Amino acid sequence: MRVNREALLHRLESVHPGLDKKETVQQSDCFVFQKGEVMTFNDEIACRGPSDLDESFTGAIPAEKLLEVLRKRKEEELEVEITEGHLLLSSKGRRSKVRLTEDIVLDIHTIEHADHWQPLHEHFGEAIGLVQHCASTSKDQFAVSCVHLTPDYVEACSSFQLCRWQQETGLTQEALVRRSAIKHITTLGMTEVAEGNAWIHFRNASGLLLSCRRYLEEYPALDRILEVKGRTTPLPKGIAEAAALASIFSSEDKDDNYLDIWLRPGKLRIRGYGITGEHEEIKKINYKGERLHFRIAPDVLIGIIKRYSECILTPERLAVMNGPCRYVACLMKPAKDLDEPVVVDAEVNGRSKKKRQVISEEA
């Protein structure tokens, strides 16, 4: 059969979140074709959607190789068929063959059936896109490494920051979902949600279904931390552009992608650094307090700047409390001596948690 190459590539890329190169479960590194659908599953995420291939195409194909072939081929249409244990993609004078295993052992069919679909809030994907950056990367506390979903808001926190997006979500009960799983829905245009005992399912208008494993662990109570009162300070102009430049280097560490911000009277300094370099800028700010330091994910800072023009500053916290967004960062006093550790008092689970951190420079 003939297929549009770009349309097939788009279908496969949409189920990419369910892949795992390490093959945590059998065939989790494969696209599995069956009954006109393409499926992926890695034990935390399951994806399935229309494949654009005939229902007779059945089998598991190494995902990365098939994607690479489709991305590098430039023809508008390809002839696709199964022959001698391979998926054959051909056009005039060109043939690509990718190994196909007819025996399907992927466990995606054990996932509970998605039922009772409800509409998602139109800004749910935007909310997840901002909040998920604030989930902890620590392996010591499982709950705060997840995004907390509730009927009225979504939130995430770490030892030095938290973000809550207040809005009706379309959910009927609370759940925790791993940050690494739910972050994928932000670009897929999900419009509906269905809740199961072990999974939360999302669906878009094209029929793509993405399911995230849900957890029922207790999440820290954050309401008290969100009670911030203080002087309103305008945010400096041009800081979003500075954050984007600084993130070029900070993003080299995928698990710890944060920018450092130093405040002193009249000035704000932003810095991002990585293995290959760093970027730093100084901005004027209407601030008259003591010298302070905090860390923030680049996408969170850029997202806040795009939506809001001012923040609340206290000796302990920086907060944004406008619209549906509630963001709080714990502030630290920069060390005067390069070797002097700074003790950060961050509240998690309603208790103070001491964290030692060396600040290398002053503002």
pLDDT tens for each residue of 17-27: 999 988 888 99
- Per cent of the chain over pLDDT 70 is 91
126-183 confidence digits (pLDDT tens): 999 999 989 988 777 899 999 999 999 999 998 788 999 999 988 899 999 999 999 9
Structural tokens at position 216: 């029922």
Closest CA to 200 of 208, 123, 192: 192
Cβ contacts of residue 84 below 8 Å, gap of 6+?
A: none
175 and 151 in contact (C-beta within 8 Å)?
no
The pair phi, psi for residue 306, each rounded to 5°, is -65, -30
* Domain extent listing, the chain: 2-110, 118-215, 231-358
Gap between the Cα atoms of 127 and 164, Å rounded: 8
Cβ contacts of residue 38 below 8 Å, gap of 6+?
A: 11, 12, 15, 31, 32, 48, 49, 50, 51, 53
Place of tokens 């097939």: 8
Residue 342, pLDDT score: 34
Count the neighbouring beta carbons within 10 Å of the beta carbon of residue 54: 14
303-346 confidence digits (pLDDT tens): 888 888 888 888 788 898 878 889 998 877 655 433 333 333 34
pLDDT band at 227 (very low <50, low <70, confident <90, very high): confident
Residue 351, pLDDT score: 43
Gap between the Cα atoms of 167 and 32, Å rounded: 37
Q: Name beta bridge partners: 261.
A: 270, 294
Q: Name beta bridge partners: 235.
A: none
Residue 289, pLDDT score: 79
The predicted model gives 254-260 an average pLDDT of 85
Residue 303, pLDDT score: 84
Gap between the Cα atoms of 243 and 295, Å rounded: 12
Residue 313, pLDDT score: 82
CATH topology of domain 2-110: DNA Polymerase III; Chain A, domain 2 (3.10.150)
In the chain, the largest separation of any two C-alpha atoms, in whole Å, equals: 74
Taking CA atoms, 195 is separated from 45, 174, 183, 206, 217, in Å, by: 14, 10, 17, 20, 16
The predicted model gives 45-73 an average pLDDT of 93
310 and 327 in contact (C-beta within 8 Å)?
no
Structural tokens at position 56: 């007779």
Structural tokens at position 66: 């098939």
Q: How far is CA 349 from the centre of its chain?
A: 23
Does residue 356 or residue 350 have the better pLDDT?
350
Structural tokens at position 109: 């069919």
Second-level CATH architecture of 118-215: Roll (3.10)
42 and 25 in contact (C-beta within 8 Å)?
yes
Gap between the Cα atoms of 340 and 304, Å rounded: 32
Residue 148, pLDDT score: 96
Structural tokens at position 180: 């690494």
Cβ contacts of residue 140 below 8 Å, gap of 6+?
A: none
271 and 284 in contact (C-beta within 8 Å)?
no
Second-level CATH architecture of 231-358: Roll (3.10)
Burial of 332 (0-12, 13-18, 19+ CB in 10 A): buried
Mean residue pLDDT across the chain: 86
Helix (H), strand (E) at residue 300: helix 298-307
pLDDT exceeds cutoff 60 at 357: no
